[in-house]
């Protein structure tokens, strides 16, 4: 697929505009929130939780909710034994919290019974968890494992890239497929946080 004319200049400009990393995604996104000091397994689980909470929810609310969960104890074991009513109360400010409570409980059960207490390591396996779609799976895979096999595209990116005529797509998944057809692979890892933050600030 042929890259759009002049894309590199625009990409570089956005990189410059985002150099201060001051958008909500930088402080309250899936990369910034997890507790690394609690070890890799807990960190990976918290990356997944942050992304599961993030859909249809502002990053500031995700940040506040993650901090409440962390105070409660955001580990696989603790969330597994936390009853659904309390979990729903803890995440009550995020969008679709009733569904997310159910998905988090189901995903945590699967992580314990099928993955020995650690989250799945590939995007394909992550997408088998309830409530986890391609966007979340590719970002979790990248942030939690340092493996990049796809681009996590959200509505901000979908809107901006269509406005720039870098893609011509009907939904974020179509945008992802087209982007992956021409964007150099060394940019796949950074493109989500870079452009989501840009979308939040314009």
- Measured CA angle at 80 (ends 126, 71), to 5 deg: 100
Q: Provide the percentage of residues in the chain whose pLDDT is more than 90.
A: 95
pLDDT for 155-185, tens place per residue? Answer: 889 999 999 999 999 999 999 999 999 999 9
**Average pLDDT of the chain?**
97
Q: Flag whether pLDDT at 52 surpasses 90.
A: yes
Q: Flag whether pLDDT at 19 surpasses 90.
A: yes
Q: How far apart are CA 145 and CA 123, in angstroms?
A: 10
pLDDT for 23-44, tens place per residue? Answer: 999 999 999 999 999 999 999 9
In this prediction, residue 71 has a pLDDT band, given cuts at 50, 70 and 90, of very high
Q: Which of 55, 1, 9, 24 is nearest to 164 (CA)?
A: 9
Where do the domains of the chain lie, and which CATH numbers do they carry? 7-23+151-201 (no CATH), 31-145 (1.10.340.30)
Determine the pLDDT at residue 4.
Answer: 98
Q: What are the residues whose beta carbons fall under 8 Å from the beta carbon of 161, sequence distance 6 or more?
A: 167, 169, 175, 179, 195
CA distances from 97 to 61, 88, 126, 167, 170 (A): 12, 6, 20, 32, 27
Long-range contact list for 135-142, CB < 8 A, 24+ apart?
A: 135/172, 135/176, 136/48, 136/51, 136/52, 136/54, 136/55, 138/176, 139/30, 139/51, 139/192, 140/30, 140/44, 140/47, 140/48, 140/51, 142/188, 142/189
Q: Flag whether pLDDT at 202 surpasses 90.
A: no
pLDDT for 96-114, tens place per residue? Answer: 999 999 999 999 999 999 9
Among residues 100, 135, 170, 187, the one annotated as catalytic is: 135
Determine the pLDDT at residue 1.
Answer: 87
Q: Flag whether pLDDT at 121 surpasses 90.
A: yes
Q: Does 135 participate in catalysis according to the annotation? A: yes
């Amino acid at each position: 697929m042929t890259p759009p004319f002049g894309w590199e200049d625009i990409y570089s400009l956005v990189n410059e505009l985002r150099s201060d990393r001051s958008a909500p995604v930088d402080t309250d996104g899936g990369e910034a929130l997890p507790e690394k000091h609690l070890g890799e397994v807990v960190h990976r689980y918290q990356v997944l939780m942050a992304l599961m909470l993030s859909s249809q929810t502002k990053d500031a609310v995700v940040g506040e909710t993650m901090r409440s969960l962390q105070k409660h104890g955001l580990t696989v074991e603790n969330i597994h034994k936390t009853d659904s009513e309390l979990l729903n109360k803890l995440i009550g400010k995020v969008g679709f919290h009733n569904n997310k409570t159910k998905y988090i409980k189901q995903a945590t059960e699967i992580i314990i019974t099928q993955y020995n207490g650690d989250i799945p390591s590939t995007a394909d396996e992550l997408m088998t968890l309830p409530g986890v779609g391609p966007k979340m799976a590719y970002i979790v895979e990248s942030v939690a494992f340092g493996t990049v096999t796809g681009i996590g595209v959200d509505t901000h990116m979908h809107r901006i890239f269509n406005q720039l005529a870098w893609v011509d797509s009907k939904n974020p998944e179509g945008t992802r497929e087209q982007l992956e057809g021409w964007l150099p692979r060394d940019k796949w890892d950074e493109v989500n946080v870079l452009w989501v933050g840009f979308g939040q600030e314009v």
